[in-house]
């Protein structure tokens, strides 16, 4: 029986494992540092308390239950030997396969921005989303208790990066400020909330059409979001951010949606990495020079039909996972592997209640407004891994839509409530003292 070792149980690795699970002549070991798959497209809804973590995380063991030929192992892979198809976890366990599939996904890329790694909130995992939700709730609770904190930026939220994640977050903040906060916090000066979306490009949603970008910008502005386009973030501190035009914005909630790179494992694979720290793969998804080694999804630079790299999207990851499984099957019977062909279903982004943009299919048929909003909800619910999650998400969305009731405004991480509201003053005093 041939053994396939898969690192990473996200869209790519899990789909590869599920497909191979159907074969009785293959044994699969799926290793992930979490014992669940996380559905990143909805993380921003966990961060803004529209959904809870259980709506978007799926136990790998439950998803793969009923497949005795698939073994799930919890562990963080820290080194990879591509020649021998062996990986080692932080705990020292080694796994060796006839085939090795690397699908370890992405992490935030702060591009060396001073203070960003220490003070900004990235949004790539359930853990990130829960920390951010707790920080948002902590500043709201604080400003409700002590309105003077508004002058220290308590109600200023700065989102870095105007791609789909940043735009969706900014829109969700706008809806929260307009609709949700008033109901929940009696003494909060909701009208003083300021939401900034910063991007060095000159439009939000860079991958979309100009029409969609204009619509998205208008919908964001209607929600009170202040767009700072053509501007980058120069520094993130615990109590403020500084923009490239010199503006200083007081905030204790700076959110980083400004870029991605491959997860840190790519640096330990013993090969030269390509753009974004990802592994360059051949058209059949194998890593050149290493027989039986595949790299997938966000962890790989995969070329599309036109030779340009495909974007880091769930659909690319999912399809590459299934394709990899098929190529392994071809390897098993000694037939030539097939070059990956991506079926482009289009792109979509939610801006807020009744406002979304969608570009459907390869020819990018454009939808906007309430139709795109309904399509976004339907597509995202359908993509959720389990039926229970699909139903759960719809119930939460219905509560939110019909009653403006958010699912989980529970401040459960006390460390996020410990905010030093004087840190900006202290920094200024230290700077003045060191000058003197």
Ligand X SMILES: Cc1cc2nc3c(=O)[nH]c(=O)nc-3n(C[C@H](O)[C@H](O)[C@H](O)COP(=O)(O)OP(=O)(O)OC[C@H]3O[C@@H](n4cnc5c(N)ncnc54)[C@H](O)[C@@H]3O)c2cc1C
Hey, which residues are catalytic here? 168
Using rule CB under 6 A, residue 34 touches ligand X: yes
Task: Let me know: does 348 contact 372? Beta carbons within 8 Å.
Answer: yes
Total residues contacting ligand X by CB under 6 A comes to 36
Among 30, 51, 70, 103, binds ligand X (CB under 6 A): 103
Query: Residues for the chain: how many in total?
Result: 436
Using rule CB under 6 A, residue 31 touches ligand X: yes
**Subset of residues 322 to 381 that bind ligand X, contact rule: CB under 6 A:** none
Q: What's the closest the beta carbon of residue 33 comes to ligand X, in angstroms?
A: 4
Using rule CB under 6 A, residue 163 touches ligand X: no
Among 123, 131, 158, 356, binds ligand X (CB under 6 A): 123
Q: What's the closest the beta carbon of residue 296 comes to ligand X, in angstroms?
A: 6
Helix/strand/coil (H, E, C) string of the chain? CEEEEEECCCHHHHHHHHHHCCCCCEEEEEEECCCEEECHHHHHHHHCCCCCHHHHEEEHHHHCCCCCCEEEEECCEEEEECCCCEEEECCCCEEECCEEEECCCEEECCCCCCCHHHHCEECCCHHHHHHHHHHHHHHHHHHHHCHHHHHHCCCEEEEECCCHHHHHHHHHHHHHHHHHHHHHCCCCCHHHCEEEEEECCCCCCCCCCHHHHHHHHHHHHHCCEEEEECCCEEEECCCEEEECCCCEEECCEEEECCCEEECHHHHHCCCCCCHHHCEECCCCCECCCCCCEEECHHHEECECCCCCECCCCHHHHHHHHHHHHHHHHHHHCCCCCCCCCCCCCEEEEEEECCEEEEEECCCCEEEEHHHHHHHHHHHHHHHCCCHHHHHHHHHHHHHHHHHCCCCCCCCCCHHHHCCCCCHHHHHHHHHHHHHC
Using rule CB under 6 A, residue 7 touches ligand X: yes
Using rule CB under 6 A, residue 269 touches ligand X: no
Q: What's the closest the beta carbon of residue 129 comes to ligand X, in angstroms?
A: 8
Q: What's the closest the beta carbon of residue 188 comes to ligand X, in angstroms?
A: 27
Using rule CB under 6 A, residue 199 touches ligand X: no
**Number of Cβ atoms within 10 Å of the Cβ of 220:** 24
Among 69, 213, 263, 266, binds ligand X (CB under 6 A): 263
Among 97, 105, 161, 352, binds ligand X (CB under 6 A): 105
Among 58, 157, 215, 299, binds ligand X (CB under 6 A): 299
Near ligand X by CB under 6 A, which window of 187-195, 308-316, 361-369, 421-429?
A: 308-316
Residue nearest to ligand X (CB): 10
Instruction: Report the candidate in 348, 349, 351, 358 with the shortest Cα–Cα distance to residue 219.
Output: 351
Residue 314 or 332: which CB sits closer to ligand X?
314
Among 265, 269, 281, 325, binds ligand X (CB under 6 A): 265
Q: What's the closest the beta carbon of residue 38 comes to ligand X, in angstroms?
A: 6
Q: What's the closest the beta carbon of residue 215 comes to ligand X, in angstroms?
A: 17
Using rule CB under 6 A, residue 174 touches ligand X: no
Residue 143 or 317: which CB sits closer to ligand X?
317
Among 32, 199, 400, 424, binds ligand X (CB under 6 A): 32
Near ligand X by CB under 6 A, which window of 132-140, 271-279, 313-321, 330-338?
A: 313-321
Using rule CB under 6 A, residue 162 touches ligand X: no
Using rule CB under 6 A, residue 40 touches ligand X: yes
Residue 105 or 409: which CB sits closer to ligand X?
105
**Subset of residues 52 to 91 that bind ligand X, contact rule: CB under 6 A:** 76-77
Torsions phi, psi of 327, nearest 5? -65, -35
Q: What's the closest the beta carbon of residue 106 comes to ligand X, in angstroms?
A: 6
Q: What's the closest the beta carbon of residue 53 comes to ligand X, in angstroms?
A: 14
Using rule CB under 6 A, residue 164 touches ligand X: yes
Rule CB under 6 A: which residues touch ligand X?
A: 7-13, 31-34, 37, 40-41, 43-44, 76-77, 103-106, 123-124, 164-165, 263, 265, 297-299, 312-315, 317
């Amino acid at each position: 029986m041939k053994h396939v070792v898969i690192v990473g149980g996200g869209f790519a690795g899990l789909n590869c494992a599920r497909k191979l699970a159907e074969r009785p002549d293959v044994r699969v070991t799926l290793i992930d540092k979490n014992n669940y798959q996380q559905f990143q497209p909805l993380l921003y809804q966990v961060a803004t308390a529209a959904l809870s973590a259980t709506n978007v995380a799926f136990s790998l063991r439950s998803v793969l239950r009923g497949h005795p030929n698939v073994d799930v192992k919890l562990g963080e892979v820290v080194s990879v030997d591509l020649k021998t198809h062996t990986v080692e976890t932080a705990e020292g366990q080694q796994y060796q396969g006839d085939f090795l599939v690397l699908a370890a996904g992405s992490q935030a890329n702060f591009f060396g921005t001073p203070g960003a790694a220490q003070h900004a909130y990235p949004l790539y995992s359930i853990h990130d989303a829960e920390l951010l939700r707790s920080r948002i709730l902590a500043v709201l609770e604080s400003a409700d208790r002590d309105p003077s904190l508004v002058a220290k930026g308590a109600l200023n939220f700065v989102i870095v990066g105007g791609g789909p994640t940043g735009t969706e977050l900014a829109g969700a903040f706008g809806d929260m400020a307009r609709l949700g906060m008033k109901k929940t916090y009696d003494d909060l000066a909701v009208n003083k909330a300021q939401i900034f979306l910063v991007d060095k490009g000159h439009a939000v949603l860079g991958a979309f059409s100009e029409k969609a970008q204009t619509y998205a910008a208008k919908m964001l502005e209607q929600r009170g979001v202040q767009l700072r386009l053509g501007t980058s973030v120069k520094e993130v501190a615990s109590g403020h951010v500084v923009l490239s035009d010199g503006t200083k914005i007081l905030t204790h909630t700076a959110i980083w949606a400004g870029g991605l790179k491959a997860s840190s494992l790519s640096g330990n694979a013993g090969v030269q990495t390509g753009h974004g720290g990802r592994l360059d793969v051949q058209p059949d998804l194998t890593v050149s020079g290493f027989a039986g080694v595949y790299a997938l999804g966000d962890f790989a630079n995969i070329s599309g039909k036109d030779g340009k790299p495909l974007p880091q999207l769930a659909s690319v990851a999912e399809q590459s996972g299934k394709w990899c499984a098929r190529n392994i099957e071809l390897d098993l019977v000694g037939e030539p592997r097939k070059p990956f062909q991506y079926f482009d279903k289009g792109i979509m982004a939610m801006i807020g209640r009744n406002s979304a943009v969608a570009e459907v299919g390869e020819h990018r048929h454009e939808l906007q407004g309430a139709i795109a909003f309904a399509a976004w909800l339907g597509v995202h619910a359908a993509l959720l891994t389990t039926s229970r999650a699909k139903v759960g998400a719809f119930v939460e969305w219905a509560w939110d839509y019909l009653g403006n009731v958010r699912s989980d405004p529970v401040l459960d991480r006390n460390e996020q409530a410990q905010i030093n509201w004087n840190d900006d003053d202290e920094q200024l005093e230290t700077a003045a003292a060191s000058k003197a």
